[in-house]
Structure 1
């Protein structure tokens, strides 16, 4: 469930936003996160583009809202028509068992910590969380807050780029001078992000450890999974995961 878009298409899209959309640009950028996230396409280019096109704080607001919308769209898809597919993939993520059990007790807290200190790939996490008992409101708020640090960091980097080629072609084509400028300006954000991630990881490990006694109730091949296919159903059932 992984897709890729070529850099030319993304550059054309960002150029269209810049030249033709005027005040509607931030809104369109935010909405663009939805199809990319649903298709599990890394959206970092959009985040960098938001910084380059709109700067701070507009780029940050647009990217933050867009990333949350995209993650929520994937969550709803996974909880409804994609539920069977997501459940079939659970066996490939053994770490998720402890997460699913912990979410029964502290849904908002665990989702927030997972966003701050990713234990699993971001795009797949959207779908994996969709079959846990977490309420959609808690999921959205925790996702929005938890992604703020990395979103701010990428938007800031976007504000330092000289043109759209730097945004879409990646870091290899950025000049040495530009690298020095980015590293110096980005240093504080990186240090802050690392500190936040370490604190979040420690808190996440503690939260998962606190749920060890509950996890022991289930065998190594069972998980508490949300029942039904409504976007927000708190009832759970226990499913067998075949190895």
Structure 2
């Protein structure tokens, strides 16, 4: 009975995650253009609503990329980036504290032992770890926030690592989103190039740092 009881929490967590992913894909199935059209009907309150939606987005695992493109479509590359950074940072902080609060309940003692070294490194070098993870688009945005909370990364290191790390990618998504409204092929090409450069540069820098070390 004990081995079975230990599996209940992980299985329940996996079921919730899979259920949310299915809900986003099959039920919501929202596009950036559709969200933009709806959110702009709120007039002056549209930016506030956008930030609020981005803040609670991690709770239902709605794709961050969709909302980032929406920011560019609805508010342009500059203000779209600003609103997205504000919403994404607040949402990341919410996820961080939620994971910090529930972490001990969801992670078994045996699991903690297995990733104890990584957890210790993240606690000691939290800012660098979070900054690199945010800059390099390898792991899902929300997974980093929840993982940092469980690993008990210093909050301020997490906050500033997140805030600085999401700026390039956020601008790239918003610039790309805003280019869809221009209807100009050259503008779209420029936006695509900017998006690719901002995505690849952190990967190149990471390799150089690894080679020097």
Q: Fold-level match, TM-score > 0.5?
A: yes
Displacement after TM superposition at 1:37 (Å): 1.1
Which position in structure 2 is the counterpart of 1:129?
148
Which position in structure 1 is the counterpart of 2:189?
183
Instruction: Determine the C-alpha separation between the residues in 2 that align with 1:191 and 1:75.
Output: 29
Instruction: Determine the C-alpha separation between the residues in 1 that align with 2:117 and 2:33.
Output: 40
Instruction: Determine the C-alpha separation between the residues in 1 that align with 2:116 and 2:62.
Output: 25
Which position in structure 2 is the counterpart of 1:199?
205
Name the SS of the counterpart of 1:74 in structure 2: helix
Cα-to-partner distance string for 1:58-112 (whole Å, 9 max, x where unaligned): 1100001111111111111111035422x25x95xx8x66542322321111111
Which position in structure 2 is the counterpart of 1:115?
134
Displacement after TM superposition at 1:52 (Å): 0.6
Alignment of 1:72-221 (within 5 A): 72-85=93-106, 87-88=107-108, 99-162=118-181, 181-200=187-206, 203=209
Name the SS of the counterpart of 2:83 in structure 1: helix
The TM-score normalised by the length of structure 1 is 0.66
The counterpart of 1:17, out of the listed 27, 34, 39, is 39
Which position in structure 2 is the counterpart of 1:228?
none
Which position in structure 1 is the counterpart of 2:90?
69
Higher fraction of strand: 1
Instruction: Determine the C-alpha separation between the residues in 2 that align with 1:132 and 1:202.
Output: 27
Give the total of aligned pairs: 188
Displacement after TM superposition at 1:23 (Å): 2.3
Runs of 4+ in structure 1 deviating by more than 4 angstroms, as ranges, are 8-13
The TM-score normalised by the length of structure 2 is 0.74
Instruction: Determine the C-alpha separation between the residues in 2 that align with 1:37 and 1:201.
Output: 30
Displacement after TM superposition at 1:181 (Å): 4.5
Which position in structure 2 is the counterpart of 1:225?
none
Higher fraction of helix: 2
Instruction: Determine the C-alpha separation between the residues in 2 that align with 1:195 and 1:40.
Output: 27
Contact 2:132 2:165 in 1 (8 A): yes
Displacement after TM superposition at 1:10 (Å): 6.8
Which position in structure 1 is the counterpart of 2:75?
54
> Per the alignment, do residues 202 and 123 of structure 1 end up closer, same or farther by CA in structure 2, a change over 3 Å counting?
farther
> Per the alignment, do residues 118 and 97 of structure 1 end up closer, same or farther by CA in structure 2, a change over 3 Å counting?
farther
Q: What 5-or-longer segments of structure 2 have no aligned partner?
A: 1-16
> Per the alignment, do residues 201 and 147 of structure 1 end up closer, same or farther by CA in structure 2, a change over 3 Å counting?
farther
Q: What 5-or-longer segments of structure 1 have no aligned partner?
A: 164-174, 210-243
> Per the alignment, do residues 160 and 118 of structure 1 end up closer, same or farther by CA in structure 2, a change over 3 Å counting?
closer
